[in-house]
Amino acid sequence: MNATAAVAAAVVPAAGRGERLGPGAPKALRELGGVPLLVHAVRALTRSRAVGLVVVAAPADGVAGVVALLDSHGLEGKDIRVVAGGATRQESVRLGLAAIPAEVGIVLVHDAARPLVPVEVVDAVASAVRAGAEAVVPAVPLADTVKRVEPVPGGPEPVLDTPDRATLRAVQTPQGFRRETLAGVHAKALAEEGAADGTGLPPVTDDAGLVERFGGRVVVVPGHEEAFKVTRPLDLVLAEAVLARRRAADAY
């Protein structure tokens, strides 16, 4: 078998501003244990033997800086490319996907904002795609009960209903896809956005959501609590604690 076809490529959307994290550098460049979130996330991917290439979608005005940053953190020996990201996560993923060589058959998409994903999750997602799934998401059960509401800024918000928690999952990344599936749904979404009649749907917050929108089949594999997304300031506190625990464990 062609070696390139057997190995997955990963797209890392890293072009967000991190507004919910508060003022400061773009989120992917904020530090965790003295190392930018993006570097943690890229390392987590390159640690997996399933991943042969990583394409980072960087803030459009920060491509050269991101290249230098990855080099300065000892990632220069890996096959890592950096492209300019877009205005939405969906666009950033599409631009990253366009930089992957045509012969690569499996693509993972991993948020730069999930720096601590264990390599076992990366491997499990890639394996499930290799085993035949067209779209795979890692996910964990929810701790909280969830209610659907009618949004009212400032509240109070009327509750519509309470979905059965046992059927709900919080999804993470990396999400894995057959390349043609992912490229196909991104192309369709782009065509829809361009529709002049204004019926275009809003961008999705994860790639599996696009596969679902166009009728594809998505399956869930177990995620990991340490694959959480750094979104708000408290997430950074938790991430620092997880990293400190790992470093202490490695020291023994």
How far is residue 230's CA from residue 244's CA, in Å, rounded to a whole number?
A: 16
What is the β-pairing status of strands 175-178 and 135-141?
Answer: antiparallel
Q: Residue 20 Cβ, how far from Mg ion at the closest point, in Å? A: 7
113 binds ligand CTP (CB under 6 A): yes
- The answer to whether 20 contacts ligand CTP (rule: CB under 6 A) is yes
Is 11 a binding residue for ligand CTP by CB under 6 A? The answer is no
Q: Give the footprint of Mg ion on this chain (CB under 5 A).
A: 16
For 137, the 3-state DSSP assignment is strand
| Smallest distance from ligand CTP to CB 17, Å | 5
Considering beta carbons, is residue 105 or 228 the nearer one to ligand CTP? 228
Binding partner of residue 188 among Mg ion, ligand CTP, none, CB under 5 to 8 Å per kind? none
Torsion angles phi and psi, residue 40, rounded to 5: -55, -45
* Helix/strand/coil for 44: helix
Cβ distance to Mg ion smaller for residue 16 or 138? 16
Site for ligand CTP in 125-184 (CB under 6 A): none
Name which of 53 and 93 has its Cβ closer to Mg ion.
93
Region binding ligand CTP by CB under 6 A among candidate stretches 13-21, 68-76, 144-152, 153-161: 13-21
> At closest approach, how far in Å is the CB of 3 from ligand CTP?
29
Q: Using CB under 6 A, which of 62, 86, 115, 176 touches ligand CTP?
A: 86
**In Å, what is the CA distance from 90 to each residue of 13, 60, 96, 106, 155?**
9, 14, 10, 18, 30
Q: Which residue is nearest to Mg ion (CB)?
A: 16
Least distance to ligand CTP from the beta carbon of 95, Å? 9
DSSP tally for the chain: helices H, then strands E:
8, 12
From the list 78, 231, 235, 242, which residue makes contact with ligand CTP (rule: CB under 6 A)?
231
Q: How far is CA 158 from CA 142, 144, 150, 152, in A?
A: 22, 18, 6, 8
User: Is position 16 an interface residue for ligand CTP (rule: CB under 6 A)?
Assistant: yes
Query: In the complex, what is the shortest distance from the CB of residue 56 to ligand CTP, in angstroms, rounded to a whole number?
Result: 9
Closer of 145 and 205 to Mg ion (Cβ): 205
CA distance 211 to 241: 35
| Lookup result for tokens 């919080």 | 170
The DSSP bridge pattern shows strands 169-171 and 135-141 to be antiparallel
Q: What's the distance, CA 14 to chain centroid?
A: 9
Residue 200, Cβ density class (10 Å: 0-12 exposed, 13-18 middle, ≥19 buried):
middle
> Which spans of this chain sit near ligand CTP (rule: CB under 6 A)?
13-20, 27-28, 57, 85-89, 92, 111-113, 229, 231
